[in-house]
Amino acid sequence: MNPVRILGVGSPVAGDDLGWRLAEALEQAGLPGYFPAGMVHITLCDRPGSLLLPAMRGARLAILLDAMRSGALPGTVRRLDMLELDDSTGLLSSHGFGVAEALALGRALADLPPRVLIYGIETGQVPSLPPLGDLVALLWPTIIDDIRERQSAIISRSAAAARR
């Protein structure tokens, strides 16, 4: 089990898919190596409607990276807790049955990690990708903080369970 899963939502066919490419860039930059071995795993997830829930299963924290279209300026990053995501957010996945729908299904089935964060990167109406290096530099500190916060909670729970 990997307590933290970072999932790049995208497509292997579209070579310019932002969530997919960003996850690859974080992996290549060595993000999992900043944490204890096996704690953080980065995965690429195509077809988020059918594969997202199994990809998150067993995690304590899931961080989803995906392109979004909300009307904001291209390159804008929105960080949402899954609990903030509902039909009124205005986020539209570029994947049809996408992240929001998969998370709604996961909530209905009680099949989600305790915490799910979504990093939506605005692409605008016509995808124009910001430079990956800029996005990695922008997201790196926040993602590290999110994982450290969850890591502390996991360590605290483990220590409390060991004392019982």
**And the tokens for 121?**
């990167």
Q: With the CA atoms of 98, 74, 113 and 141 taken in that order, what torsion angle do they form, in degrees rounded to the nearest 10? A: 160
Give the per-residue pLDDT at 87.
47
Mean pLDDT of 98-113: 84
Which residue type sits at 113? Answer: P
pTM recorded for the entire structure: 0.81
- Out of 112-116, 124-128, 130-134, least confident range: 124-128
The structure tokens 């009124």 sit at 88
Q: Which residues contact 75 (CB under 8 A, 6 or more apart)?
A: 121, 122, 130, 134, 135
- Out of 38-47, 60-69, 126-135, least confident range: 126-135
8 Å CB contact between 24 and 81? no
Give the per-residue pLDDT at 90.
43
Q: Please indicate whether residue 43 or residue 154 has the higher confidence score (pLDDT).
A: 43
Domains and CATH numbers, the chain: 4-163 (3.40.50.1450)
- At residue 61, the 3 state secondary structure works out as strand
Q: Please indicate whether residue 90 or residue 46 has the higher confidence score (pLDDT).
A: 46
pLDDT band per the 50, 70, 90 thresholds, residue 129 = low
Distance CA 69, CA 94 (A): 8
- Residue 67 CB coordination number (10 Å): 27
Pairing of strands 4-10, 115-122: unpaired
pLDDT, one tens digit per residue, over 59-90 is: 999 999 988 878 888 788 888 888 776 544 44
8 Å CB contact between 17 and 45? no
- Residue 35 CB coordination number (10 Å): 15
- Out of 2-6, 36-40, 83-87, least confident range: 83-87
Pairing of strands 115-122, 61-68: parallel
Give the per-residue pLDDT at 75.
80
For residue 4, pLDDT over 90 is answered with yes
Give the per-residue pLDDT at 130.
66
